[in-house]
Amino acid sequence: MVTAVIGDGAVVGRAARHVKRTHFSLCWWLAWVLAVAGCAGSPPSNFFTLRPLPAADGHAAVTGGTLGIGLGPVTFPGFLDRPQIVSRDGNNRLTLDEFNRWGGTLQDDFLRVWSENLAYLVGTSRVLIFPTEVRFPLDFRITADVLTFEGTPAGEAVLKVRWAVLDPRLEQTLAARETSYRQPLRPPADQAALIGAMSAALGAFSEDVAAVLRGLPKPTAPPAVPPLY
């Protein structure tokens, strides 16, 4: 009798272990199926960059020029310092698009396109972005605080920026402005249209900056101070 009980217990133990293994395998298989289904059901992410002015984008590279321009620093609000494309869904609410993102950072892209636009509009290749080692004399330095650069519920891209043109030798402000730009989204008013409208707003800002630069006299170098002996 004792032997029979022990044998039955062994059989029960083997059956329990088999059930546990089967349950584990089934759970693993279900988890794998759900993971594959989740990956297959997620839309792919799209990555975007701003574009220069159409005339600058299709123009041959600018070479030469005598005007030296330095750009920066340029500051952005913290809520735009993220990979997702940001739009405003209301006065105090922002929406982040998880599947439409910047190819790099918005701040770097802004500076890249801004410098390309200004090089074309002013006709000089001597444009640098701070912080960069200065390899040629600068005639102007432009700083900017970007206050708004996003989409709106009205189907527009909005850029609002406070900026100044400085004499880099004397650190003297030559011009200071706060300007706003609104560009409507073209149909079908999707994310690609939003990026196009943002690029157009940045282009309009670049044109205003170039107009101010062309209207300023080129700063002259201060007279050399004779050495003291």
What are the start-end ranges of the H helices in the chain?
Answer: 2-41, 54-57, 106-122, 191-215
pLDDT band at 1 (very low <50, low <70, confident <90, very high): very low
What mean pLDDT is reported for the chain? 84
Whether the per-residue pLDDT at 227 is higher than 90: the answer is no
Q: In angstroms, rounded to a whole number, what is the distance separating the alpha carbons of residues 225 and 141?
A: 24
Tens digits of residue pLDDT in 11-49: 445 544 544 455 545 555 555 545 544 444 567 889 999
Q: What is the pLDDT of residue 78?
A: 95
Q: What is the pTM of this model?
A: 0.78
What are the extents of the domains in the chain? 1-38, 48-215
Query: What would you measure as the largest C-alpha separation in the chain, in angstroms?
Result: 119
Section 91-117 average pLDDT: 94
- CA–CA distances in Å: residue 201 to residues 43, 72, 87, 157, 197: 29, 19, 15, 7, 6
Mean pLDDT, residues 79-105 taken together? 92
CATH superfamily of 48-215: ABC-type transport auxiliary lipoprotein component (3.40.50.10610)
The pLDDT of residue 113 is: 97
- Distance, CA of 157 to CA of 186 (rounded, Å): 11
Q: Given this model, what pLDDT does residue 186 score? A: 95
Query: Residue 37: what pLDDT?
Result: 45
Q: For residue 225, is it left (φ>0), alpha (ψ between -120 and 50) or beta?
A: beta
156-167 and 172-184 strand pairing: antiparallel
Q: 18-32, 47-61, 88-102 — which one is most confidently predicted on average?
A: 88-102
pLDDT digits (tens, 9 = 90+) for 167-177: 998 889 999 99
How far is Cα 85 from Cα 95, in angstroms, rounded to an integer?
8
